[in-house]
Copies of this chain bind each other. A is one copy, B any other.
Amino acid sequence: MTETIELKRVGDGNLRAQVYQQIRLTIQHGELAPGQKLVDVDIAAQLGISRMPVRDALMQLVHEGYLVGTTRGFTLPTLTATDVADIFEVRRLLEPRAAAHAARTLDAAGLKTLAAALREAEAAAAAGDADRFFQANSAFRNCWLGAVENERLSQTIARFADHVLVVRLRTLSHQPTQAVIVAGMRAIYEAFVKRDAVAAYDRMTRFIQNAEERFMKLSPPFQDSNGEGEGMSRQGKA
Listed in ascending order, the chain A residues whose CB lies under 8 Å from chain B are 56, 59-60, 63-64, 86-87, 89-90, 93-94, 97, 150-153, 156, 160, 237
B89, A150: Cβ atoms closer than 8 Å: yes
Q: How many whole Å from A117's CB to the nearest CB in chain B?
A: 24
A/B interface sample: 19 pairs, CB < 8 A: A56-B56, A56-B59, A59-B59, A59-B60, A60-B63, A63-B64, A86-B150, A86-B151, A86-B152, A86-B153, A89-B97, A89-B150, A90-B94, A90-B150, A90-B152, A93-B153, A94-B94, A152-B160, A156-B156
Q: Which residue, of A93, A153, A156, A237, has the highest number of chain B Cβ atoms within 10 A?
A: A93
A160 to B150, CA, bound (A): 13
For A156, give its contact among B90, B97, B237 (CB under 8 Å): B90
Q: How many whole Å from A226's CB to the nearest CB in chain B?
A: 16
Chain B residue, CB-CB nearest to A55: B56
Chain B residue, CB-CB nearest to A96: B93
Chain B residue, CB-CB nearest to A56: B59
A156 to B153, CA, bound (A): 11
Known A86-B150, A90-B153; further 18 A-B contacts with Cβ < 8 A: A56-B59, A59-B60, A60-B63, A63-B63, A63-B64, A86-B151, A86-B153, A87-B152, A89-B97, A89-B150, A89-B153, A90-B94, A90-B152, A90-B156, A93-B93, A94-B94, A151-B237, A152-B160
B89, A93: Cβ atoms closer than 8 Å: no
Contacts of A60 in B (CB 8 A): 59, 63
